[in-house]
Amino acid sequence: ALQWDVRLISSNASIFNRSGSVIVKNANAISETLLRFFKDHASQNPLPTLIELAHSDIKTGSSDDDDGD
């Protein structure tokens, strides 16, 4: 359920903002960071991932496999 909500952030940003806008890019970076953080149970700090993704051209859905969390 939480993963679905996180994906909704990117989806809504894409629906209600211009493709490639700062809002869409940041929403994608935040969503992807959270999805990776949920998967990596050893990680205690998602900030390095967020910084890396914020400076890359990331698209939504690269962490699509939902394990039902």
Cα gap 7→60, rounded to integer Å: 8
Q: With beta carbons less than 8 A apart as the criterion, state whether 9 and 30 touch.
A: yes
Amino acid 41: pLDDT: 80
Per-residue pLDDT of 4-47, as tens digits, reads 999 999 999 999 999 999 999 999 999 999 999 999 888 889 99
Identity (one letter) of the amino acid at 53? L
Q: How confident is the model at residue 69 (pLDDT cuts 50, 70, 90)?
A: very low
pTM confidence score? 0.74
